[in-house]
Amino acid sequence: MVIAAPASGSGKTTVATGLMAALRARGLRVSPHKVGPDYIDPGYHALASGRPGRNLDPWLAGEERMAPLFLHGARGCDIAVVEGVMGLFDGRGETDFASTAHVARLLDAPVVLVVDAARQSRSVAAVVHGFATFDPRVRVGGVILNRVGSDRHEEMCRAALGDVPVLGVVRRDDAVATPSRHLGLIPAAERESEALAVVGRLGELTARSCDLEALVRLAATAPPLDSRPWEPDVVAQPYRKTVAVAGGAAFTFGYAEHVELLRAAGAEIAVFDPLRDERLPEGTEAIVIGGGFPEVYADRLAANEPLRKQVAAFAGPIAAECAGLLYLCEELDGLPMCGRVPGVARMTDRLTLGYREAVSGTSLLTRAGERYRGHEFHRTTIISPKEPLFRWEGGADGYGDALVTASYLHLHWAGRPELAQRLVTPPRSRWR
């Protein structure tokens, strides 16, 4: 089932994460999914379900891969919970492409609408009626009322909704709040013990506020999907190569399928923490540095001079996205970084956010003229003397050479599996 809402801020993450935790506590194997490119919510989903949180984004990975990727993640599970993005019908530009509704149609899944009932009562019914009838291809199977203030408030909302199934009523509860900062929620990996406690409280809140049996019955109405589960293509290798993947609190953004694709391409994955580890893992032959919050940890990253110098001198392939790009620059807000990518990075007051359709130059992973679909999400900017690697209408960024691909663009490699293969098996002349 898909957990959706009329707008952002209605409580989707609270309900979806709590539902995952509550169902798992009942003994069900729960498959967690998130519509869109978001990295942070899946971290909480993973804590709640005990399985990797996975993204379903038709723009990044292709709509033809939504059902296969869903089945891949849901293999062996009893129930799947898909948290939506923004409002139910909000997609790319003026369309509903890559919206929650789009993914719900592709999965033929029932939708549970989370409605923030604060400061309204009878009007809730008008909101629900509009969303339930706007697109007949989307099946709204019931509602969960959020931020209900009292018994009387609940009675008024239920009376107005009439025959619409009310699958839960969540009262205001400040104890389940999750802290935020400049790019949204603080990732669970940065506050694991506290996040576990919050997820536990969310599960308890959902268990006492929602009709779990009715929700399970609704999910069971989703018909079988006529698709095969996605699997990364296994590439035969004469020997396996060690790929060091950045982790730790500063680099928490990454899609689960990226590591799966790297392993299928012949990689042995070794995770390292640039905040703590003074050396790359033994035998490292390639490096992957994903997204995260290096600006929050810039002083600690700068203080780890031994690792910065080793990365700067590394003569093998390096793939970096967003936070990884900042870490590879010469400096970030005046603090020294690795210096592998020419340019300096600065925090700004402006949020850069949105999907991009970019044309690439030549680099480790890209070939001149190739088109890529990516997503930007940052408040930094980079001043560089080099030509940008990617260009799109109204913008450009990134750096590339024979051994490096680094850009603000987040890509989903399930839509471009050749990227993992190019990283693991580049032309011999590009290897040290």
Clarify whether 322 is annotated catalytic.
yes
Tokens of 389: 């690697």
Virtual CA dihedral for 213, 40, 415, 383, nearest 10 degrees?
170
Among the listed residues 210, 322, 329, 338, the single catalytic one is 322
- Non-local (6+) Cβ contacts of 383 within 8 A are 343, 344, 345, 346
Whether 211 and 254 have beta carbons less than 8 Å apart is answered as no
Give the C-alpha separation, 26 to 81, whole Å: 15
The set of catalytic residues is 322
